[in-house]
Amino acid sequence: MRIDLKGLDTQETEQWAADQGFEPFRARQIRQWLFKKLVSSFDEMTNLPKNLRAILHEKALITALECVKTQESNDGTKKYLFRLKDDYLIESVLIPEQNHYTCCISSQVGCAMDCRFCLTAKKGLRRNLSSSEIIEQVIHVKRSIPNQDQIRNIVFMGMGEPLANYEAVKKAIINLMNDDGLNLSKRRITLSTCGLVPGINRLGREMNIKLAVSLNAPDDDIRDALMPINRKYPLRELLEACRTFPLHKGERITFEYVLIKGINDQDQHAQDLVKLLAGIRSKINLIPLNPHKGIPMLPPSEETVLRFQDMLIKKHFTAIVRKSRGSDILAACGQLGSEGLD
């Protein structure tokens, strides 16, 4: 069975090269071609000896995703539809910021968490992505833009629950951060979870990246109805994991709160949220629900959203209303998976 080189870290690549009878510096050359020059074939690795390239052809492979379609939103957001080797489809999103891009990537084909407001969840889980399939999303998107260094932020907020595919996500993050990988700062990588408490605890011990928690409710009753995972890991356990999550100076946990008309958007909900998050270094992203015909829910009025935000700000919370990006091409929060999973 051929080995997927993008799924290896530095030490594993060096060990593989040694097993083939080559010096460690050949592994570093291979990784430079993969993660710096973003090549898609071994023939492009021109500073490698022919016998090593022959071995690479025979015993290794470079993961490639087939880009089936690219759509561009009115606001400049781009959505990429990728076909995997087994014909499953995943989506990634490139979001333009003021002077850089944020790349939103997927960690699974579909999702098993069944959050009621999320279109991806309606499709169910097909399988986990490999670490190479995860990082290849970033590499493909980098190839598609003129200035590759403008991708400054990576967010695990696409299809799937990252902590349910922990090992592959961890390996992908290592290659995102390593200086012989894509060399991104740990401060530029954010993982969003629906609340898998053991995974949050492990992430805090093993990976020093930013954490975002999809909260969406101020109490267990509402969260149970919106997010079935809360029945396994209720708010008390989730928030304890957040309180003990290691943060450096100036760092905060992001709590994502999807505002849904008549369900979690009332004044009392804002007051309860203030009490719930007391003592946690946090910021709150308020996200008016991005509607879709497959989800029988609606966003609140703009007036309701702004009132909810104001109540949080008056209690000294950082609360930001996150504008939907790419909703016209179903690329916004909760809308991925509109194509191909059926």
Cα–Cα distance list, 182 to 133, 204, 211, 220, 234 (Å): 15, 22, 20, 40, 36
CB 106, CB 90: distance < 8 Å: yes
The CA distance from 124 to 97, in Å, is 31
Q: What angle do CA 328, 329, 331 make, to 5 degrees?
A: 105
Question: Is 161 one of the annotated active-site residues of the chain?
Answer: no
Torsion angles phi and psi, residue 204, rounded to 5: -65, -35
Catalytic residue among 103, 115, 118, 333: 333
The residue behind tokens 């710096």 is 36
CB 301, CB 289: distance < 8 Å: no
Cα–Cα distance list, 58 to 2, 51, 52 (Å): 7, 11, 10
The CA distance from 88 to 127, in Å, is 9
The CA distance from 125 to 111, in Å, is 4
Give the HSE-up count for residue 239: Cα atoms under 13 Å, Cβ half-sphere: 18
Catalytic residue among 91, 136, 161, 256: 91
The residue behind tokens 């809360």 is 230
Beta bridge partners of 95: 102
CB 317, CB 274: distance < 8 Å: yes
CB 158, CB 106: distance < 8 Å: yes
Question: Is 67 one of the annotated active-site residues of the chain?
Answer: no
CB 217, CB 226: distance < 8 Å: yes
The CA distance from 270 to 286, in Å, is 11
Return the active site residues: 91, 333
